[in-house]
């Protein structure tokens, strides 16, 4: 039975973190050398944590399944990173960033965590500059900012459209330094497949060497998971093909509570799926909505080409539904509007999955040159992928799963319900509530890794007595056996279906029944269909090759198997949360005009699910108390 103790310090919000840091116990430099820490994942959170812990003197082992830590999916983030620097003197402050994040998350996140995030955001920028991240600059040499994601201040720092890449390369270079110093041992192409818990404390992990197939255990005094999100549960998403839920899901099965799994963000502007074999949705920058107008033909199944459809027969549905915000309505509203209009049969393109994003008005008003300069690279990318010239016919877009706010439950110290297991970055649930603001994910990953975890983990290590755990320990052997058996079971698969086909079926099911809009009947249907699909998977999947070599089919099948299990968790959570908040939209809970209805009286809490062997997961609630801000309703009409 788990207990949720948030460990948020008492007292005024502004000084919580400072006072907490002072009250934390420290590990002496001599002892640090004897302490081993395992960091799983090498994205923004993992790389920054591993390098900082190495610099502090701990013995760090860092793992990633990619061939190099620099390929973690943080690299693909485009937009930017927020920080309350107020360099533009436009009224930004820690308080404002804090409030925007809380409100953007639809009042489903912890005040203290979000405030701390806003506080350390400033240090992140300084640290990244010191590491040589080439942020965009003004002519005078100062850092440039842009406004992002519909906020009223310019607080987003960026490196062209490759901010995630540059921030990751910064963290990766810091990590490289620590590897060179011998403080961090890097284990690339090594996948974590289970968590080792000894006497209730996380003490290690079981990994599979993806090149040799060897299954090994690594033990340490603490384990840090920085393994990202699980958007790939929808099969088609903007995530990298390797992004998976395995590490966090395995940790869940070892006792870490999973929080708010149903909070999954759908990004409105991706290039729509075009054919059955498609395995990826490519994001188009949201900035296109600044000048573009979204529309569909009014007549269902209109097969005319867009140029032939006259103005009165077009439905500019966002402008119609949200006259005040029009095409700039927030991500969740825009995504849902697109889905509704396509569900009504008005969608365009293959399978009716798409709406037009039309820049012809902008071209007519501002001239082709201006539009070209602003969006030229996006038009080029669109043409490369679809083969269509967006200057002549409007682009087609469709929403795509993009980010998961849910994740393993952590307290204020970023520790999960398993002592010694820390979770950072997208893998935890902490700071974004029910919906994440643009340019906040990079901020959170680096805040956790550079500035928060290295403090809080020290307190745990200083106050926890832990004896050595050898690789022959019973619990270690048991964990290894679980992994060995599972790999062997997968390799017995000689059926007639590929793992990809099950992943695709699961994705379609989740998208239809637990995607942008959910309802009770659909979720119940999903909860019946998922176990059946899982059963079929284990009977019918074909996994060829051997376990003792490089075997991508085996890696992938294991990840799909975990998606097939964790999908149920999403549905349980979506089913129980009888309200619409942020990215979670229940058809039953909306205003007559189709706006989400949040229920603060009954659902102002974090739902944390506990694993029960062979049974339904058990719900625990961490009530959310708002001492400093007052929850309000978001209205955009």
Please give the residues from 168 up to 207 whose contact with another protein meets the rule CB under 8 A.
Answer: 169, 172-174, 176-177, 179-182, 186, 188
Phi, then psi, of 99 in degrees rounded to 5: -65, -45
Tell me how far apart the alpha carbons of residues 628 and 377 are, in angstroms, rounded to a whole number.
43
From candidates 240, 348, 397, 490, binder to another protein by CB under 8 A: 240
Which string of x and - marks every residue 282-321 that binds another protein (by CB under 8 A)? xx--------------------------------------
Choices 11-19, 101-109, 370-378, 383-391; region in contact with another protein by CB under 8 A:
383-391
CB closer to another protein, 87 vs 316: 87
Answer yes or no: are the C-beta atoms of 225 and 410 closer than 8 Å. Answer: no
Tell me how far apart the alpha carbons of residues 438 and 80 are, in angstroms, rounded to a whole number.
8
Choices 285-293, 335-343, 468-476, 490-498; region in contact with another protein by CB under 8 A:
490-498
Give 3-state DSSP helix, strand, coil % of the chain, rounded to 5: 40, 15, 40
Instruction: By CB under 8 A, tell whether 355 contacts another protein.
Output: no
Distances (CA, A) of 59 to 54, 219, 405, 604: 6, 12, 31, 41
User: By CB under 8 A, what part of segment 19-48 binds another protein?
Assistant: 48
CB closer to another protein, 15 vs 549: 549
**The Cα angle at residue 131 between residues 126 and 137, in degrees rounded to 5:** 60
In 3D space, the residue among 39, 20, 51, 46 whose CA is nearest the CA of residue 116 turns out to be 20
Instruction: By CB under 8 A, tell whether 491 contacts another protein.
Output: no
CB closer to another protein, 71 vs 432: 71
From candidates 31, 152, 241, 637, binder to another protein by CB under 8 A: 241
From candidates 31, 142, 591, 637, binder to another protein by CB under 8 A: 142
CB closer to another protein, 56 vs 222: 56
Answer yes or no: are the C-beta atoms of 244 and 232 closer than 8 Å. Answer: yes
From candidates 553, 564, 571, 608, binder to another protein by CB under 8 A: 553
**The Cα angle at residue 395 between residues 394 and 399, in degrees rounded to 5:** 140
Q: Closest approach of Cβ 631 to another protein, in Å?
A: 34
Q: Closest approach of Cβ 446 to another protein, in Å?
A: 10
From candidates 23, 277, 311, 630, binder to another protein by CB under 8 A: 277
**The Cα angle at residue 67 between residues 214 and 445, in degrees rounded to 5:** 110
CB closer to another protein, 10 vs 496: 496
Q: Is the C-alpha dihedral spanning 534, 538, 544, 547 positive or negative?
A: positive
DSSP one-letter string for 280-328: ---B--TTHHHH-EEEEESSTT--S-GGGS-GGGEE-HHHHH-TTTGGG
Tell me how far apart the alpha carbons of residues 93 and 98 are, in angstroms, rounded to a whole number.
8
User: By CB under 8 A, what part of segment 60-99 binds another protein?
Assistant: 66-71, 73, 75-76, 85, 87
- Residue 40, number of CB atoms within 10 A of its CB: 29
**Torsion-angle region of 549 (φ positive above 0: left; ψ -120 to 50: alpha; else: beta):** beta
Q: Closest approach of Cβ 377 to another protein, in Å?
A: 11
Q: Closest approach of Cβ 246 to another protein, in Å?
A: 15
Instruction: By CB under 8 A, tell whether 387 contacts another protein.
Output: yes
CB closer to another protein, 254 vs 393: 393
From candidates 544, 618, 625, 633, binder to another protein by CB under 8 A: 544
Q: Closest approach of Cβ 507 to another protein, in Å?
A: 14
Tell me how far apart the alpha carbons of residues 123 and 458 are, in angstroms, rounded to a whole number.
20
Tell me how far apart the alpha carbons of residues 81 and 166 are, in angstroms, rounded to a whole number.
11
- Total interface residues for another protein by CB under 8 A: 86
Q: Closest approach of Cβ 472 to another protein, in Å?
A: 28
From candidates 6, 9, 24, 57, binder to another protein by CB under 8 A: 57
From candidates 2, 143, 328, 529, binder to another protein by CB under 8 A: 143
């Amino acid at each position: 039975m788990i207990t949720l103790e948030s460990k948020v310090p008492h007292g005024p919000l502004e000084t919580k973190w400072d006072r907490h840091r002072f009250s934390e116990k420290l590990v002496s430099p001599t002892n640090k050398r004897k302490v081993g820490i395992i960091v799983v994942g090498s994205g923004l959170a993992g790389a920054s944590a591993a390098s900082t812990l190495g610099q502090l003197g701990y013995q760090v082992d860092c793992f990633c399944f990619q061939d190099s830590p620099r390929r973690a999916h943080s690299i693909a983030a485009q937009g930017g990173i927020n920080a309350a620097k107020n360099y533009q003197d436009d009224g930004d402050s820690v308080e404002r960033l804090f409030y925007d994040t809380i409100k953007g998350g639809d009042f489903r996140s912890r005040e203290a965590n979000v405030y701390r995030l806003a506080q350390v955001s400033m240090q992140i920028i300084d640290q990244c500059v010191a590491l040589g991240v080439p942020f965009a600059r003004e002519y005078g040499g100062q850092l440039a900012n842009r406004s992002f994601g519909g906020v009223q201040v310019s607080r987003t720092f960026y490196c062209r459209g490759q901010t995630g890449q540059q921030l990751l390369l910064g963290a990766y270079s810091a990590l490289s330094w620590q590897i060179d110093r011998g403080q961090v041992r890097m284990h690339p192409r090594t996948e974590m497949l289970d968590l080792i818990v000894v006497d209730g404390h996380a003490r290690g992990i079981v990994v599979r060497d993806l090149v040799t197939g060897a299954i090994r255990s690594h033990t340490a005094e603490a384990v840090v998971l920085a393994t990202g999100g699980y958007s790939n549960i929808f099969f088609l998403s903007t995530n990298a093909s390797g992004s998976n839920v395995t590490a966090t899901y395995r940790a869940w099965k070892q006792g870490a509570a999973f929080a708010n799994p149903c909070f999954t963000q759908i990004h409105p502007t991706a290039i729509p799926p075009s054919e059955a074999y498609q395995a990826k949705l490519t994001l188009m920058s949201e900035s296109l909505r600044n000048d573009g107008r979204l529309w569909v033909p009014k007549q269902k199944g209109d097969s005319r080409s867009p140029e032939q459809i006259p103005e009165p027969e077009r439905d500019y549905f966002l402008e119609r539904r949200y006259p005040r915000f029009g095409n700039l309505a927030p991500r969740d509203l825009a995504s849902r509007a697109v889905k509704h209009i396509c569900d009504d049969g008005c969608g365009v393109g293959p399978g009716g999955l798409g709406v037009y994003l039309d820049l012809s008005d902008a071209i007519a008003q501002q001239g082709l040159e201006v539009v070209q300069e602003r969006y030229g690279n996006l038009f080029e990318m669109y043409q490369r992928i679809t083969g269509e010239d967006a200057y002549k016919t409007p682009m087609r877009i469709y929403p795509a799963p993009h980010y998961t706010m849910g994740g393993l439950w952590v307290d204020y110290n970023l520790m999960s319900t398993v002592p010694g297991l820390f979770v950072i970055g997208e893998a935890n649930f902490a700071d974004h509530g029910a919906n994440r603001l643009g340019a906040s994910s990079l901020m959170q990953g680096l805040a956790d890794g550079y500035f928060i975890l290295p403090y809080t983990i020290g307190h745990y290590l200083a106050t926890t007595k832990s004896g050595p755990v050898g690789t022959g320990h019973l619990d270690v052997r048991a964990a290894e056996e679980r992994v060995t058996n599972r790999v062997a079971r997968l390799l017995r698969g000689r059926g007639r279906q590929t793992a990809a086909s099950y992943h695709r079926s699961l994705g379609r099911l989740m998208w239809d029944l637990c995607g942008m809009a959910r309802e009770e009947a659909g979720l119940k249907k999903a909860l019946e269909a998922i176990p059946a699909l899982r059963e079929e998977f284990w009977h019918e999947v074909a996994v060829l090759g051997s376990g003792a070599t490089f075997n991508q089919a085996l890696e992938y099948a294991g990840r799909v198997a975990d998606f097939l299990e964790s999908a149920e968790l999403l549905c349980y959570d979506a089913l129980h949360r009888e309200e619409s908040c942020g990215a979670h939209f229940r058809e039953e809970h909306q205003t007559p005009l189709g706006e989400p209805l949040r229920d603060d009286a009954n659902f102002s809490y974090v739902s944390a699910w506990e694993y029960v062997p062979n049974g339904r997961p058990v719900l625990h609630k961490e009530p959310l108390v708002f001492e400093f801000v007052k929850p309000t309703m978001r209205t955009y009409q």
